[in-house]
A and B are shown apart, each in its own frame.
Chain A
Amino acid sequence: MRSLHRTLLLPLLTLSLVAAACGNDDDASDTSSPAPVAEATSTSAFPVTIEHALGTTEIPEAPERVVTWGWGSTDAAIALGVVPVAMPHQAYGGDEEGVLPWVRERIEAEGLEMPEVLPDSQEAPIEAIAAARPDLIIAVYSGITEAEYELLSQIAPTVAYPEQAWSTPWRDTIEIVGEALGRPDEADALLADIDAEIAAKGEEHPELAGKTVAMVWATPDTFYVYKPDDARVEFTLDLGLESAPSVEELADGDETFYYTLSLERLGDLTSDVLVSYADTEESSQTFLSSPAAQTMPQVRAGTVAEVIGTEFIAAVSPPTALSLTWGLDEYVEILAAAAQAADGA
């Protein structure tokens, strides 16, 4: 269920219930500067010290039993050659056992041992994590609270998010996991590979370069816009697109990585390409055919990139060390089609 947070739905639900009365939890200060990558020794020698939003964690020696929590840490660890002993249940995008398709594919392809899947819960399942007898807990992209952090730290050294809950840039997730595992060089190499792949994709599709993009999630009565510092937007911009100025102009001062927009104002959210997320084909159609959507130039011009399906959305929101290559081809195809439509429009 943690993954709900990642797809923003749960914070959205909470927000809608508590509404404006509730500000951002504000786990850390202003995010105007990019999240600093963990300060650690650049050699692989332990002990490793990592500073994060909830404290400073020292990892005395190379971990052998790693437990991951949140999103992306599992994938990063596996990509760096460390299979966790236990990992979170991913209800969103995962299969019946809560395992994400790209995780299962990698583990089965390499004949690795499938990690234990932790109970499906909102809060970190402290008891189940303790039962896995970890010597390192990685929750780099997660929403663990200070209280949960204290409890987890009593079980094993715990690495939380660098600045704010659920907003670690996906690259930083990989780098911090690399530091924590004493494999910073491997993390750098992994990122270089991924960068090369994204760059290659971008070059294959020059029509993406310089196109402005707005990324949204429409529900029947509320419309969400993702800000440029959201990880999924950031990754899309890496493909050569640019964040549309309207996205920032309409944003409120909130520190969260999305905002809601009145259905009356959709026409003001101008961009070359609109990336619209939907769980099902049906809900995507419902939105695109609604009167509110008809006020959007992107909908009228047919420059909407529809990202449909929970697995597919999970793979790019935000991408992880394993999901990126898994979902990249299809995502770029969809974007490219919308960008080409924008060229023709």
Chain B
Amino acid sequence: MAVTLEPRTDDDTLSPRAAPQRTRAVVGRGVLSSGWAKGGGVGVAVGVLVVVAFASVAYGSKTIDLGTVVDAFVAYDGTNNDHLIIRSLRVPRTLVGLGVGAALGLAGAVMQGVTRNPLADPGIFGVEAGAALAVVVGIYVFGVGSLTGYVWFAFAGAGVASVVVYGLGSLGRGGATPVKLALAGAAMAALLSSLTSAVLIIDIATLDQFRFWAVGSLAGRDGQVVRQVAPFLTVGVLLALASGRGLNTLALGDDVARSLGQRVHLARATSGLAVIVCSGAAVAAAGPVGFIGLTIPHVARAISGPDYRWVLPWSIVLGPILLLGADIVGRVVARPGELQVGIVTAFIGAPFFIALVRRRKLAEL
């Protein structure tokens, strides 16, 4: 097959055999092309993130005026319920949302890079469902009772699910095509989450305490959750950022990558580990939250172009914007109750997923 600069057909895009043509992908452009514009753009996005984080502290199911919100920080009164709500409920919840959003955005970006699959997402590919099932099994079978314990089960579950999904998706003719991987992932995710539900229904205490392993939520996460999960999220973020250069060369196809001096297996291992740590830590903290990892890398790529050294930082910033935004929506639409953030992101993400499958241009990786 000759290398060509002609527009590719859909079939080419969805087949790994198009790999030798991918030289073009790296020179593709996002909205922001110059280095200065990209740097400035990240600055603006960080500004938006700060605004969203502030909104997440200021707005919720209970209406609290801004003066009181400020007072909660400058003149904290432990007997004031509004102050208590802001400092003990909204701030930890916002911090967990920041960490989980960044981790899921990154996990999605790295997965899409390493599998060269535009449909990759830790939710769709069953990685989160695997982590959630492992956590529930850890609780039910091994009596694990703390988040620092859950994390290891989440990592194991995420790892096993990743390997199984990739293995299933690679079977048959054509290898691991994007749609086959997505189908294998969706099937595994469905299977794993039914198993989670089955375990939850068997044991009433588990059911009561751990419903959020079925649908992710940021509600009820306290400061302890933040402290316990922060180290793992940090490791995941660093691993993911470290894999940026490797993802760029992997995007050229294994042969080209190797000829450029890339140690392909090392790059894949680092990336895979980053996905597992990011997804596992996110699930341990918030339960499975889908579609952040799917949508964010596409938005990041549309802004900054395909260079993963830019896509990854953008994903870190955009992920929490989407997650916290969805969480704020979930808090205010069902007053005086709340909608779990996992449900809100599914509402936003499912149409995006369908559009992605149908549109050719977005499907180019």
Contacts from A to B (Cβ < 8 Å): 1, 4, 7, 9-10, 12-13, 16-17, 19-20, 91-92, 219-222, 250, 252, 259-265, 267-268, 279-280, 283, 290-292, 294-295, 310
Contact = CB atoms under 8 A, between A and B. Distances in A.
Interface string B204-226: 11011111101101011110000
A221 B89 CA distance: 11
A10 B222 CA distance: 26
Contacts of A252: 334, 336-337
B332 to A, nearest CB: 10
A17 B339 CA distance: 10
B340 A16 contact: yes
Contact of B338 (A1, A12, A262, A267): A262
B335 A221 contact: no
Secondary structure at the A interface, as helix, strand, loop or mixed, is helix
Given A13-B211, A17-B215, A91 B204 contact: yes
A16 B336 CA distance: 15
Given A9-B208, A220-B212, A310-B204, A20 B217 contact: no
Interface string B76-91: 0000010011001110
B209 A261 contact: no
Q: Which 6 A-B pairs have the closest CB atoms?
A: A291-B88, A262-B61, A221-B220, A260-B337, A264-B62, A221-B219
A222 B61 contact: no
Contacts, number: 114
B363 to A, nearest CB: 29
B215 A279 contact: no
A264 B89 contact: yes
12 contacts: A16-B214, A17-B214, A17-B215, A20-B343, A221-B211, A221-B219, A221-B220, A222-B338, A265-B61, A279-B208, A295-B81, A310-B204
B331 interface: yes
B211 A290 contact: no
Given A4-B207, A17-B215, 13 more contacts: A7-B204, A9-B208, A13-B201, A220-B210, A262-B331, A262-B337, A263-B220, A265-B335, A267-B81, A290-B222, A291-B84, A291-B85, A294-B84
A20 B214 contact: no
B316 to A, nearest CB: 25
Nearest to B79: A300
A69 B220 CA distance: 37
B215 A219 contact: no
Contacts of A290: 220, 222
Given A267-B81, A268-B336, A13 B214 contact: yes
B205 A260 contact: no
Contact of B211 (A7, A16, A91, A294): A16
Nearest to A296: B81
B84 A265 contact: no
Contacts of B90: 264
Contacts of B340: 16, 19, 221
Contacts of A261: 336-337
A80 to B, nearest CB: 30
Interface of B: 60-62, 81, 84-85, 88-90, 197, 200-201, 204-205, 207-212, 214-215, 217, 219-222, 331, 333-340, 343
Contacts of B62: 262, 264-265, 267-268
Given A260-B338, A264-B60, A13 B200 contact: yes
Contacts of A222: 211, 217, 219-220, 338
B97 to A, nearest CB: 13
A221 B217 contact: yes
Contacts of B81: 267, 295
A279 B217 contact: no
A10 B201 CA distance: 8
Given A220-B212, A280-B205, A20 B339 contact: yes
B88 to A, nearest CB: 3
A59 to B, nearest CB: 34
A92 B201 CA distance: 11
A4 B89 contact: no
B336 A19 contact: no
A176 to B, nearest CB: 28
Given A4-B204, A16-B211, A262-B331, A220 B220 contact: yes
For B84, B204, B215, the residue with the greatest tally of chain A CB atoms inside 10 Å of its CB is: B204
Given A19-B343, A262-B331, A265-B336, A9 B212 contact: no
B227 to A, nearest CB: 15
A219 B201 contact: no
A245 to B, nearest CB: 15
B331 to A, nearest CB: 7
Given A9-B208, A292-B89, A250 B336 contact: yes
B211 A291 contact: no
B166 to A, nearest CB: 27
Nearest to A10: B201
Contacts of B334: 20, 252
A10 B200 CA distance: 10
Contacts of A263: 89, 219-220, 338
A262 B209 contact: no
Nearest to B219: A221
A262 B220 CA distance: 10
B211 A219 contact: yes
